[in-house]
Every structure is written in C-alpha cells, then in structure tokens.
Amino acid sequence: MRFYSFTNMYLSSLQVGLQSGHCIADMFIRYTNGLKPGSKDQMLYEWAEEHKTMILLNGGYDSTIHDLTTFFENINNPFPWVDFYESANAMNGLQTTVGIILPEHIYEGAAIVRKCRRGWDEVTQVLHDDGTRTIFQPTTTAVADARYWEYSAWEVELIDRLNSFGLAR
C-alpha cells in the first residue's frame, strides 16, 4: 500500500510535504473512531482534527535519530510517537524520521527556555524534590494572571532536546 499525494505544482517542495501531511491527518480523522478519552490515540486524533501543525526539524545524524527513538520509547513518555524506516531496497532499511505529537505546554515551555540566554537558570520556576519542575509563563499582566505548567523530569529533558535542534531547510 502507498499514500499518493497530488499537490499544486506552484508549491515548494517543503509545502508539498506539509500539505500531504495535512491530507493524511484528514484521512486519519475520516476513518478512525472509538478513541478512548485521555489516551495517546485521542491526543493524536485531536491533533489531526484541531491543529495539523507540523514543525519539521533537522534531526542530524543517524545516531541522533536512534537516540531520540530510545528516548521516546521510555515508559515515562505520555505522548504518541512513531519512527519511520525506509525500505531495504530504497535506503537499506535506514531509519530516516522519528515524530511525536506534543501539547502546548511542551512547546510553549521550550520557547520560554529557548528565549533565556542561560536556559533554565533564567526561567521563573520551582524545582521540586522529585525532579519535576513548574515554570511560569511571563505575562505583561498581573502575576495572578500568569500561566504555569508542571513538567516531569522526562518532559524537562524533552524540552532541552527540542531546543537543541534547528528547523529543517
């Protein structure tokens, strides 16, 4: 089986990939049902139905992709993820991609940490004894209106890893 995408010829190659991803998400929504609320499959479905945003990062070397796979396989990972291997005929079974669906508190937290010159050291946060952290989103309004998020130790490492990759070009 194969997924075929027919995309407008005036779009760039990057846009062809993005639009094809949107099409896959819509197909996923159309033909999937019976999802359990709060589960990884529900999170994937919500992304496909409500968001469809894709951030394409330069994953670096083969060893980095394998390292990310090992990290995502961790039992503490609450997010849906997948890895992709090319066929043996095309690229000798090379693992080319690993992907994950992430909620707002992860990518917003990563943005807050990334904007600070010294990373976590400058973030308004509370470090708990169990390795979890609470960070506070800076706002221009009263402190009572500030948003905050709780992060597990695994999520803190995820944020650090996210911030180590640049956009694909």
Instruction: Determine how β-strand 81-85 pairs with β-strand 148-151.
Output: unpaired
Residue 85 domain flag: no
69 lies in a domain? no
Residue 37: the pLDDT is 76
In a domain, 9, yes or no: yes
Say if 24 falls within a structural domain.
Answer: yes
Cα angle 65, 15, 41; round to 5: 55
- pLDDT tens for the chain, residues 1 to 169: 667 777 777 878 888 788 888 878 887 877 776 677 778 888 888 888 888 888 889 898 889 999 999 999 999 999 999 888 888 997 898 888 899 999 988 998 888 888 876 666 667 777 777 777 777 665 544 444 556 788 888 998 999 999 999 888 7
Do the domain assignments include residue 168?
no
Q: What does each C-alpha distance from 97 to 66, 86, 93, 94, 160 come to in angstroms?
A: 9, 9, 12, 9, 19
Q: Is position 98 within any domain?
A: no
Cα separation, 163 vs 108, whole angstroms? 11
Other beta carbons less than 10 A from residue 119's beta carbon: 13
- pLDDT, residue 4, reads 77
In DSSP terms, 86 is beta-bridged to none
Q: Of 54, 71, 89, at which residue does a domain stop?
A: 54
Count other C-beta atoms under 10 Å from residue 12's C-beta: 8
With respect to residue 116, please indicate whether it lies within any of the assigned structural domains.
Answer: yes
**Overall number of domains in the chain:** 2
Residue-number span of the structural domain to which 146 is assigned = 104-162
At 142 the pLDDT is 47
Asked if residue 139 is part of any domain, the answer here is: yes
